[in-house]
């Protein structure tokens, strides 16, 4: 499917491309999908209880700013999780989202100028990238800039290496850490450099930190505490968090955007006109989830067990990510490997090129995801081990 106007340059959806690639090819063994990052965990009982006890609020329009209980719970989690010493005010620094994806898409609209630095405004993002970033940029009228995230730069885009003329055109930057698909985690030096660039060139940082609570060796450095330590506040920053990954509740469609109070105020005003609200029962269940760490610890330990199994099975064919639940495997040609994995072994994988865009490096056109496949470790441990053992046969 192609789109008209601004969206004509929207990259094709990766899963639609995968369906086309596999077409009528029959799986060689009983099918197992490791293509989609769907954290299908057990719904905690306290979430079910909160939904049931607050079902009557389906009869009322919910407020854009969220209930007082939700705001207090969300701010409390942010202050605890990132040791912010109460810097997040529940009335000024955050908003509820219908899932973080919705917020990452709609956030550009109230902030995008008609021009920047004498030209069309530019929004930069990693390459490979989460597809809704590009959709947001194109729909807002800005120009997307795909900055390669390569092994040589730790799979994090080198925004600081962009020419000054390009930096002056930037209105915003998307950055995902730990990243999807590579699992790369930015350190404090990376965040500090990015925030200094944002101040110098007058753009804001959209920090997609949905995987911040899925880590293995140590928690990743994160945007909010780094920015607070650097500047005493959250200027130029909006950070996004989700119950989809942290709590294994993707169907709840519930997230947080937090950061600069001026940006939050403007985003709230826009959402009062155009944005979706989060239903009352969902807010109640979300508040309960933000207040509980036991289920989060259990989720993290389960992912650690899956990652350890992957290391035993794949050995040096994989590198442990800094966070998240994806493996980013270098297989030479991701599309060919994904087709073979399905045809020979019945394992469904996502070619890395389907999350990237072609770029020109020197005189060569290249897709940074070309040689990779993304493997999602979201099924139960036994299923994942079976799938990885099958992949080992063809690696």
> Contact, 143 vs 121, CB < 8 A?
yes
Q: Sheet of 122-127: strands edge to edge?
A: 94-97, 255-259, 237-242, 204-208, 170-176, 122-127, 143-148
Give 212's contacts (C-beta < 8 A, 6+ positions apart).
Answer: 81, 177, 178, 219, 220, 222, 241, 246, 323
Note the pLDDT of residue 78.
Answer: 98
153 and 261 fall within a common domain? yes
The total of other beta-carbon atoms located within 10 Å of residue 128's CB is 29
Claim to verify: residue 143 and residue 259 sit in the same structural domain = yes
Q: Between 361 and 288, where is the model more confident?
A: 288
Mean pLDDT of 200-204: 97
CATH code of the domain covering residue 239: 3.40.640.10
In this predicted structure, the answer to whether residue 365 has a pLDDT above a threshold of 90 is: no
Comparing 37-51, 171-185, 201-215, 322-336, the range with the smallest average pLDDT is 37-51
Do 312 and 388 form a contact (C-beta atoms < 8 A)? no
Element (H, E) at 343: helix 334-345
The percentage of residues in the chain with a pLDDT greater than 70, rounded to a whole number, is 98
**Among 1-15, 200-214, 375-389, whose mean pLDDT is lowest?**
1-15
Same domain, 256 and 125: yes
More confident residue, 10 or 254: 254
Q: Which residues lie across from 148 on neighbouring strands?
A: 127
Q: What is the pLDDT of residue 1?
A: 60
pLDDT of residue 42: 84
**Residue 309, domain CATH:** 3.90.1150.10
State the Cα torsion 212-215-221-222 to the nearest 10°: 0
pLDDT, tens digit, for every residue of 281-313? 999 999 999 999 999 999 999 999 999 999 999
- Cα dihedral 306, 310, 312, 316, rounded to 10, equals -150
**Structure tokens that stand for 110 in this block:** 């109230």
pLDDT of residue 361: 64
> What average pLDDT is seen over the chain?
95
Q: What is the pLDDT of residue 310?
A: 97
Which of the two residues, 358 and 133, has the higher pLDDT score? 133
Mark which of 275, 292, 309 sits at the end of a domain: 292
Structure-block tokens of residue 210:
């949905």
The answer, yes or no, to whether residue 2 has pLDDT greater than 90, is no
**Are residues 100 and 66 located together in one domain of the fold?**
yes
Contact 136, 106 (CB under 8 A): yes
Q: Residue holding tokens 């949905």?
A: 210
Residues 276 and 364 in one domain: no
Claim to verify: residue 362 and residue 373 sit in the same structural domain: yes
Domain of residue 123, residue span: 47-292
Contact 213, 59 (CB under 8 A): no
Number of structural domains found in the chain: 2
Residues 245 and 177 in one domain: yes
- Would the pLDDT of 18 be above 90? yes
**377 vs 10, 41, 210, 268, CA distance in Å?**
28, 12, 16, 35
Same domain, yes or no: 119 and 223: yes
Give yes or no for residue 363 having a pLDDT over 80: no
- Beta bridge partners, 258, equal 94, 239
* 232-260 per-position pLDDT tens digit: 999 999 999 999 999 999 999 999 999 99
Residue 25 dihedral angles phi and psi, to the nearest 5°: -65, 130
Report how far residue 142's alpha carbon sits from residue 120's, in angstroms, rounded to the nearest whole number. Answer: 6
pLDDT classification of 394: cutoffs 50, 70, 90: very high
Please check whether residues 71 and 99 belong to one and the same domain: yes
pLDDT at 364: 62
Q: 165-190 burial string, b = 16+ CB within 10 Å, else e?
A: ebbbbbbbbbbbbbbbbbbbbbeeeb
Q: How far apart are CA 271 and CA 321, in angstroms?
A: 35
Alpha-carbon gap, residue 123 to 132, rounded angstroms: 13
State which of 247, 277, 292 marks the end of a domain.
292
CB 34 within 8 A of CB 373: no
**Can you tell me the mean pLDDT for 114-142?**
95
Question: What is the DSSP code (8-state) at residue 177?
Answer: S
- Choosing from 245, 264, 292, the residue where a domain stops is 292
Query: Is the model's pLDDT at 371 over the cut of 90?
Result: yes
pLDDT at 29: 97
Give the residue from 214, 245, 264 showing the smallest Cα distance to 75: 264
| Residue 362: predicted pLDDT | 63
């Amino acid at each position: 499917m192609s789109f008209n106007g601004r969206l004509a340059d929207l990259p094709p959806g990766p899963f639609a491309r995968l369906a086309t690639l596999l077409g009528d090819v029959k799986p060689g063994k009983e099918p197992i999908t490791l293509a989609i990052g769907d954290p299908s965990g057990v719904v905690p009982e306290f979430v079910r209880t909160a939904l049931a006890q607050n079902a009557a609020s389906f009869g009322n329009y919910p407020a854009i700013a969220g209930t007082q209980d939700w705001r207090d719970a969300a701010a409390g989690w942010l202050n605890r999780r990132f040791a912010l010493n109460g810097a997040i005010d529940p009335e000024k620094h955050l908003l509820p989202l219908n899932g973080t994806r919705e917020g990452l898409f709609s956030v550009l609209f109230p902030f995008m100028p008609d021009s920047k630095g004498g030209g069309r405004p530019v929004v930069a993002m990693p390459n490979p990238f989460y597809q809704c970033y590009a959709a947001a940029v194109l729909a807002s009228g800005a120009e997307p800039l795909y900055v390669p995230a390569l092994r040589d730069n730790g799979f994090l885009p080198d925004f600081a290496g962009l020419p000054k003329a390009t930096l002056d055109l930037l209105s915003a930057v998307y950055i995902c850490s730990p990243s999807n698909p590579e699992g790369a985690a930015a350190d404090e030096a990376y965040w500090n450099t990015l925030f200094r660039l944002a101040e110098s060139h007058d753009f804001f940082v959209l920090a997609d930190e949905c995987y911040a609570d899925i880590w293995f060796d140590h928690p990743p450095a994160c945007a909010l505490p780094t920015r607070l330590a650097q500047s005493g506040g959250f200027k130029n920053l909006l950070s996004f968090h989700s119950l989809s990954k942290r709590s294994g509740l993707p169907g709840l469609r519930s997230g947080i955007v937090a950061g600069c109070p001026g940006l939050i105020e403007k985003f709230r005003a826009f959402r009062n006109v155009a944005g979706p609200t989060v239903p009352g029962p969902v807010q109640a269940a979300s508040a309960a989830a933000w207040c509980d760490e036991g289920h989060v610890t259990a989720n993290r330990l389960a992912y650690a067990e899956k990652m350890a199994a992957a290391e035993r099975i794949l050995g040096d064919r994989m590198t442990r990510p800094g966070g998240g639940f994806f493996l980013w495997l270098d297989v030479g040609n991701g599309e060919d490997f994904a087709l073979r994995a399905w045809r020979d072994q019945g394992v469904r994988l996502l070619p890395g090129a389907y999350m990237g865009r072609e770029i020109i490096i020197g005189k060569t056109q290249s897709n940074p995801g070309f040689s990779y496949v993304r493997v999602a470790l979201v099924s139960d441990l036994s299923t994942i081990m079976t799938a990885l053992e099958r992949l080992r046969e063809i690696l």
